[in-house]
Structure 1
Amino acid sequence: MKNYLKNLVELNDTKKSKRFAYFIQFLIIFSVVTFSIETLPDLKPQTKVILNAIEAFCVIVFTFEYLARIYVADNKLKFIFSFFGIIDFLAILPFYLSFGIDLRSLRLLRMFRLFRLFKLVRYNKAMRHFANAMKLAKEQIILFMIITIMLIYFAAVGIYYFENEAQPEHFSSVFSSLWWSIVTLTTVGYGDVYPITVGGRIFTFFILLIGLGVVAIPTGIISSSLTKAVEPNEEKK
């Protein structure tokens, strides 16, 4: 039984394991769609009953999969605290926590059902390549995030000194200037807060140039890591 379950849930090249994988993928998408339908206003009581039944069925299957993976794992604790182990647990947790409890006070728990989407990474080859690429680029991404946070703070301080006197309602402090800094460095530029002084506009010009690099750098890091993640698999073929 243990070998049968191991072959079924751990994605070997058997027809049964592939069918099981496709079935789980279908349930993941289906459960997320039903989650979205539940947010529609004025649902009929019959519709809610059907949606609850679908949710219960999906959770039963996901629970079986989670327990089966623990059962067949060589190192059970390692699996439980692994990335996929935690995702599998979070995918079923909201159902059991909210069972018999008024969800109006626990609506945030329902959002954890979206963690089921992360389960797709296990079953999708392209997503696994992307996950491996993120692991390879982890140190560069962390360094980039630290530098980006420093730039956001620097931009907030700079625009505060340029615009505080001219627009005290928008740039009353460094903290209130952080919103402008974020939308400018990310090149979103909503236009709800913008500089009106000459110094502030010149400063914004240079921040926008830096923002173009902020957008481009992670793209290069991830694409390079993705190439490295895919190449070993191509060589094996």
Structure 2
Amino acid sequence: MKKLDKQKVFNIIQIGNKEDRPSHAFDIFITITILLNISVMVLQTYEQFSNFFPIFDAIALITMIIFCVEYGFRIWTADCLYPEDSHPKAVVKFLLSFDGIVDLFTILPFFFLSGFVAFRILRVIRIFHLFRINGQYDSFNIIFSVLKEKKNQILSSMVIVLILMLSSSIGVYYAEHDMQPYVFKNAFSGVWWSVSTLLTVGYGDIYPITTVGRIMAIITAFLGVGVIAIPTGIISAGFMEHYSKMKLLNNFARDEQVDLLTIRITEGHCWNGLQVSKIGVPDHFLPCVVMRDGEALIPVPDFTIKIGDTVVLAAEGFFSHSY
């Protein structure tokens, strides 16, 4: 097939906009396929539907074939996704990307239906296929952007949780080992109890019976409420910050303020088909939002610019005087 044909296939299987009818039709088709596959996976867990299992199996087979074909097309067109790389290198990049891993784990159980339990559990990963339905849009991009931006703070809070978990598990071991030697056999046997107490789950299968152990449980539970709230607060603050920026940028983009440079992507534009990390941005400007089909999208580095998009560039000092 010609290079042009490969580019056409790539444009179709990539998440498109409503004006690109073939791509939009494929988006709808693959979305229905994903929902059908997940619905069948859920319905097959109900014994009362056993009479319909052959039909479910047929639907699952058809949807998995579609996933396999799509996966093959994505591997074939990987060099269109990463045009600066050779095809082998582009394929490796795709296979190691989030979409590539999810696609692989989606079809992997199909070839190991009667294999190890681990392969059957991989069926659950099909649910992550839903992320790709809205993968280019604000809601999902904000999640990943917040986690990436706040990763240092989140990591620090996780270290605090880990330290508290280990210290409480070691402490409860020394407090309970003599009274419950078969329950708290060693220092790490209290990890399960520590996690359930810190997260205020309290399954009740393992619990302290000594006075010291119970006092430790009370202290651990109180500390757990406060410590777990730290990463929650960090993420919540990140969401509020991003949504505030998006609201501000939306208003400025519509009003065409001085600090913004608006670029409409037409056919033949040098940015068409490129990822945000690869476009040549004018000096002292940064891509801050992409308007597509009336929606404001976050231009993350791997976001692909398409025909019809409006790219809004903000001056580097924009945020410093906009709040």
| 1:58 matched to 2:58 | no
Max Rg structure: 2
- How far residue 163 of structure 1 moved from its aligned partner, in angstroms, is 2.3
Q: Please tell me whether the aligned partners of residues 103 and 129 of structure 2 are also in contact (alpha carbons under 8 angstroms).
A: yes
Task: Report which of the two has the higher share of strand.
Answer: 2
- Aligned residue number for residue 212 of structure 1: 225
User: 1:133 aligns to what SS in structure 2?
Assistant: helix
- Aligned residue number for residue 34 of structure 1: 40
- How far residue 205 of structure 1 moved from its aligned partner, in angstroms, is 2.1
Please give the alpha-carbon distance, in whole angstroms, between the structure 2 residues aligned to 1:160 and 1:229. Answer: 44
TM-score for both structures, normalised by structure 2 = 0.63
- Aligned residue number for residue 108 of structure 1: 118
Matching residue within 3, 7, 25 for 2:11:
7
Q: Please tell me whether the aligned partners of residues 8 and 20 of structure 1 are also in contact (alpha carbons under 8 angstroms).
A: yes
Please give the alpha-carbon distance, in whole angstroms, between the structure 1 residues aligned to 2:183 and 2:112. Answer: 43
Q: Please tell me whether the aligned partners of residues 112 and 120 of structure 2 are also in contact (alpha carbons under 8 angstroms).
A: no
- How far residue 166 of structure 1 moved from its aligned partner, in angstroms, is 3.2
Match runs of 1:129-140 below 5 Å: 129-140=142-153
Q: Please tell me whether the aligned partners of residues 157 and 231 of structure 2 are also in contact (alpha carbons under 8 angstroms).
A: yes
Q: Please tell me whether the aligned partners of residues 160 and 227 of structure 2 are also in contact (alpha carbons under 8 angstroms).
A: no
Matching residue within 149, 153, 161 for 2:174:
161
- Aligned residue number for residue 18 of structure 1: 24
User: Deviations along 1:30-88, whole A, 9 cap, x unmatched?
Assistant: 212211222334764x6333222111211122122222223142333211211111111
Deviates more, 1:117-126 or 1:222-231: 222-231
Please give the alpha-carbon distance, in whole angstroms, between the structure 2 residues aligned to 1:80 and 1:233. Answer: 32
Give the residue type in structure 2 aligned to 1:133. Answer: V
Report the RMSD for the aligned CA atoms in angstroms: 2.4
Please give the alpha-carbon distance, in whole angstroms, between the structure 2 residues aligned to 1:107 and 1:200. Answer: 38
| 1:92 matched to 2:90 | no
TM-score for both structures, normalised by structure 1 = 0.84
User: 2:215 aligns to what SS in structure 1?
Assistant: helix
| Bigger RCO of structures 1 and 2 (CA < 8 A, at least 6 apart) | 1
Change (3 A) 1:16 1:223: farther
Please give the alpha-carbon distance, in whole angstroms, between the structure 2 residues aligned to 1:47 and 1:127. Answer: 35
